[in-house]
Amino acid sequence: MSSAPLPVISNFIRTIIDADLASGKHRSIVTRFPPEPNGYLHVGHAKSICLNFGLAQDYQGKCNLRFDDTNPEKESEEYAQSIQDDVRWLGFQWDGEVRWASDYFEQLYQYAVELIQKGLAYVDDLTPEQMREYRGTLTRAGKNSPYRERSVAENLGLFARMRGGEFADGSRVLRAKIDMASGNINMRDPAIYRIRRVHHIRTGDKWCIYPMYDYTHCISDALEGITHSLCTLEFEDHRPLYDWVLDNITIPCHPRQYEFSRLELHYTITSKRKLLQLVNEKHVSGWDDPRMPTIQGMRRRGYTPEGIREFAKRIGISKSDNTVDMAVLESAIREDLEARAPRVMAIVNPLKVVITNFVAGQTESREAGFHPQHPEFGARLVPFNKDIWIEADDFSESPPAGWQRLTVGGEVRLRYSYIMRCDEVIKDAAGNVIELRCSIDAETLGKNPVGRKVKGVIHWLSCTHALPAEIRLYDRLFTVPEPDADKTIDFCTYLNPDSLVTTRGWVEACVKDAIPETRYQFERLGYFCTDRRDHRPGKPVFNRTVTLKDHWAKEQG
């Protein structure tokens, strides 16, 4: 990683690793990140990436990237490539080459043959509906399939014929022979192979049978020498099957599975199915829409990998519920950007001001640094001119109590420039304010006025020098913390109609050569990032990454 390592915060997984290393059970650790290439990764995956790769980094171990490509209908190279890009962007690198479950298809097949030879697997002809009926329920034990007692020789023959393509899709499965009366439904003779004629992104049409996840995953872990197989809590009930498979095949390594709580983030969703619905129904522009909780979306919005890693550190790892407010993520991003983003001025909602006492050649411009704590960021000239833009929200004809911005007859400090007084308001036929006539105090450039105190400071831009820009004001995608909590209500009901407001504004000309994914603080407005897809030098498109303060806390308070 490019930055210094974050302070290590202990958790139950680190405690286990420390004990394993101290006892000599393991000399070093090997973890893995095993996504299925059937969609784009989201913030929950980011937590898992930071955990698995972060542990390997901290303990000088290794972390593999292994694609679980056993479900070929939904998988694509596009997804696989995006996942690799996401891992690298977050600041991590996997050990060696990318690994795939399909690398092990032949070995997985041979281990299935071994289970059959030991009388621990059988070919079943039940239909899927019959299998569900025979499986039982949480309160009723399952019952044995009538095909459960086939001979080893018959099962070996049928399994070879399954591989050879003699049977129709779905007509037979290979099942582990465990215990149909088990209290854990996962142990009731689970299917470990099914027939499916689907073109595979890596093996093409070589295979017409594919192994199931629970069977594939544990063997892949063992073949790779994984020491600590970390997964989310929904796989806790699958651990006995993980161990059963490894206990009953001839394989030298037996990794251990440990479960931690998955991340649930307020004001968004992380269900891959529901994220796909948002895309398909055009509620968002795509998987990388900056409102999406995908890593691609967060990146496009302007979130930093350092901020996301800091967020993962703050929320921690445990077995208890891990529902986190969006403000925790936004705070981590905001704090990271505070230190690294240069500051410039921009106008989102422009109101024109004419400086009536501007004197060409006498009224001066000033230089301003890009960051008050980082002089090494350099400085730029902030040009002043007769016509300037200010933020329309910074003017009020009837200001509320405590108003410290501009009003008729009132004064404000123009950031990096003069004290300015509003003398006249120009309106259109409908009574809308379209222009202000103001004057500056020529003695106040870089110093305070004599005999009076001016509290308010507003940002502004010279009309002549400002660069036009498209500014996209992104906000939270949903209006409620848990949009999918009530399953009887369509979660799309809670979509925030103001999650994207696009405006035509102005920015300082010093950003004209900014490349995509360049981040700035727009003074008084928030943190913004040039869009990685639509931005062009000279034709900037800025995405609001996060506001300067948590305005949602104010609204909820």
Structural domain boundaries, residue 511: 262-344+469-557
Position 371 in a domain: yes
Supply the pLDDT for residue 4. Answer: 45
The Cα-based distances of 445 to 285, 345, 413, 460 in angstroms read 46, 18, 10, 15
Nearest to 54 by CA among 111, 117, 9: 9
Whether 480 and 552 map to the same domain: the answer is yes
Q: Are both 333 and 430 inside the same structural domain? A: no
Could you tell me if residue 18 is inside a domain? no
Please give the angle made by the CA atoms of 449, 363 and 379, to the nearest 5 degrees: 85
Q: What's the pTM value of the predicted model, to 2 decimals? A: 0.93
Q: Looking at the structure, do residues 319 and 293 belong to the same domain, yes or no?
A: yes
Residue 56 included in any domain: no
Q: Does residue 243 fall inside a structural domain?
A: no
Task: Show which of 408, 437, 458 is a domain's final residue.
Answer: 458
Active-site hit among 62, 172, 272, 544? 272
C-alpha–C-alpha distance, residues 446 and 430, integer Å: 39
User: Is 310 in the active site?
Assistant: no
Please write the tens of the pLDDT for every residue from 353-381.
Answer: 999 999 998 889 999 999 999 999 999 99
What CATH number should be reported for the domain holding residue 121?
A: 3.90.800.10
d(CA 372, CA 523): 12
d(CA 279, CA 289): 9
Query: How many domains are contained in the chain?
Result: 3
Residue 105 lies in a domain: no
Contact 537, 514 (CB under 8 A): yes
Q: What is the pLDDT of residue 344?
A: 98
DSSP characters over 463-508: TTTPEEEEEEEE--SBSSS-TTS-TTS-GGGGB-TTSEEEEEEEE-
Shared-domain flag, residues 339 and 477? yes
- Domain shared by 453 and 361, yes or no: yes
Contact of 174 with 193, CB cutoff 8 Å: yes
Residue 294's DSSP bridge partners are 42
Beta bridge partners of 174: 123, 193
Out of 458, 490, 511, pick the residue that ends a domain. Answer: 458
Strands (E), 117-253: 121-124, 173-176, 191-195, 209-211, 228-232
Query: Residues 479, 537: one domain?
Result: yes
Same structural domain, 200 and 147: yes
Q: Is 487 part of a structural domain of the chain?
A: yes
* Catalytic residue selected from 150, 175, 262, 343: 262
Of the CA atoms within 13 Å of residue 97, those in its CB half-sphere come to 4
- Please give the full DSSP string across 329-376, using - where no structure is assigned: HHHHHHHHHHHH--EE-EESSEEEEEETT--TTTS--EEEES-TT-GG
Radius of gyration for the alpha carbons in the chain, expressed in angstroms and rounded: 31
Q: Could you tell me if 350 and 447 lie in one domain?
A: yes
**CA separation for the pair 45, 68 (Å, rounded):** 14
Q: Is residue 473 in some structural domain? A: yes
Is the same domain home to 309 and 162? no
405 is catalytic: no
Give the Å distances, CA to CA, from 455 to 3, 158, 181, 388, 415.
Answer: 39, 85, 77, 21, 12
Residue ranges of the chain with pLDDT lower than 50? Answer: 1-6, 555-557
Q: Is residue 65 part of a domain?
A: no
Same-domain status, 301 and 385: no
The DSSP code sequence of 270-294 is --HHHHHHHHHTTSSSSTT-TTSSB
Instruction: Confirm whether 262 is a catalytic residue.
Output: yes
Q: Are 18 and 29 in contact (CB under 8 A)?
A: no
In 3-state terms, what secondary structure has residue 189? coil
Hey, what are 462's tokens? 């010279």
- Indicate if 166 and 119 belong to the same structural domain: yes
Predicted local confidence at residue 8, as pLDDT: 61
- Last residue in a domain, options 211, 244, 278: 211
The answer on 490 and 433 residing in a single domain is: no
**∠ Cα 463 464 468 (to 5°):** 65
Which CATH number is 322's domain given? 2.40.240.10
